[in-house]
Amino acid sequence: MKFVNEFRSRSLTGKLVNAINGIMPEREVRLMEVCGTHTASFYRFGLDRLIPPGLKLISGPGCPVCVTAEGFIDAACGLAKDKDTLVLSFGDMLRVPGSNSSLEEAGGKFSNVRLVYSPLEALKIASDHPGKKVIFLAVGFETTAGSIALTVLAAKKKKLKNLFFYSALKLIPPAMEYILSDPRQRLDGFLCPGHVSAIIGTRAYAPVLKKYRIPLCVAGFEPVDILEGFYLLLKQIKNNSPRIDNQYLRVVRGPGNIKAQRITGRVFRVSDASWRGLGGLPLSGLELKKEFAFFDAKRQFSLKENPSFTRGGRKKCGCADVLKGLLSPKECPLFFKACTPENPYGPCMVSREGACNAYFKYRR
């Protein structure tokens, strides 16, 4: 298959592993990925068994479902209790636990929660149910923000009066800065997310590089992509020359997707946001501009998110430290015991992009 098999080539993989071994310093090197797809691919293809034992890949806050605050889930479950309301959500979000319930449980109890695959589905559902308040849960990073912004613009054009958006959209670079500001964390470089970078471009990481002087590399998700990303980061480390490398040239450009950025900027403004495990981070989220306040569920329904469930999450659950790269999933006392994909105790076990889910599936 063109552009897939080529990046899973045993020959290229072997050459890259040899190159990594040849440039690997004698000390331990800790690299953090900021995309859950990198986590899943890394273990799915067994790359942890190919690289030198001193090269550690640390999972970070790159799963949008995982970092959605419990207070947001609780508020969404509260909306589902209204018989005149329909709550629309992407699939992974349904099973993420709040402080008392998940949307899946709320949907089973009140029959007001529906699964959608695209935000555009909300337009038809709202049109088909004029007597219902239809609320779309806008969860994701910069990658999904553009399509949600287009949906808001379409709702305005259609003059829909019963469609609302509850935003938990988040931005990746501020989370990277938060991780680097934690004195407990020792990182040697970042494997930057390919999907997000396709939208924001490599230039978006310039403030991180300038402030922290840490090696950065945008990489794709196939074995050759990830291994080449490791090699480029190790090369920066060896030469003591931090910069922003772009391994994912077939998809990512320096300025990113300008059109998607403009559409997002037309509808949303940067705001403070609550992250599960990380707490409240300034200027790390997106909320609807005043021009679109009518569609803002948080304003229209006076939604309040309980801050006590923002930082840590459920008792004994290690997801907060997993998301910060301070804990490996297998070090959580609940992993493979009380917490499994069939019975997830924390969000990192729910999503396919969650570190715990990847560990359970490929390395339990």
SS3 label, residue 163: strand
For residues 291-308, give the mean pLDDT. Answer: 90
With contact defined as beta carbons under 8 Å apart, do 310 and 338 qualify? no
Q: Are strands 216-218 and 189-192 parallel, antiparallel or unpaired?
A: parallel
Pairwise CA distance, residues 226 & 248, whole Å:
10
Exposed (0-12), middle (13-18) or buried (19+): which is 213, by Cβ within 10 Å? exposed
Chain centroid offset of residue 132 CA: 30
Residues of each domain in the chain carrying CATH 3.40.50.11740 = 70-171+256-309
What pLDDT was estimated at residue 314?
A: 62
Q: Name the packing angle between helices 355-363 and 36-44 (round to 10°).
A: 10
Indicate whether 295 pLDDT > 60.
yes
DSSP assignment of 266-302: HHEEEEEEEETTTEEEEEEEEEE-GGGGGGBHHHHTT
What pLDDT was estimated at residue 1?
A: 47
Quote the mean pLDDT of the chain. Answer: 94
> Class assignment of domain 70-171+256-309?
alpha beta
What pLDDT was estimated at residue 201?
A: 98
What pLDDT was estimated at residue 67?
A: 95
What pLDDT was estimated at residue 188?
A: 98
What pLDDT was estimated at residue 106?
A: 86
pLDDT, one tens digit per residue, over 63-106 is: 999 999 999 999 999 999 999 999 999 988 999 988 888 999 88
Burial 330-364 (b: 16+ CB within 10 A, else e): eebebbeeebbeeebbbbbbbbbbbbbbbbbeeee
What pLDDT was estimated at residue 246?
A: 98
23-32, 135-144, 255-264, 332-341: lowest mean pLDDT where?
332-341
Q: Are strands 268-275 and 279-288 parallel, antiparallel or unpaired?
A: antiparallel
Residues of each domain in the chain carrying CATH 3.40.50.11750 = 5-64+184-246
- CATH 3.20.20.140, applies to 5-64+184-246: no
What pLDDT was estimated at residue 309?
A: 45
Single-letter amino acid code for the residue at 91? G
Exposed (0-12), middle (13-18) or buried (19+): which is 282, by Cβ within 10 Å? exposed
Residue 54's pLDDT band (cuts 50, 70, 90)? very high
What pLDDT was estimated at residue 166?
A: 98
For residues 286-311, give the mean pLDDT. Answer: 86
pLDDT, one tens digit per residue, over 308-338 is: 544 445 678 999 999 999 999 999 999 999 9
Indicate whether 4 pLDDT > 90.
no
**Where do runs of H (alpha helix) occur along the chain?**
10-23, 36-44, 70-80, 103-110, 121-128, 142-158, 172-181, 194-200, 206-212, 223-239, 258-267, 297-300, 319-323, 355-363
Q: How many CB atoms lie within 10 A of CB 13?
A: 20
pTM, two decimal places = 0.94
pLDDT, one tens digit per residue, over 236-269 is: 999 999 999 999 999 999 999 999 999 999 999 9
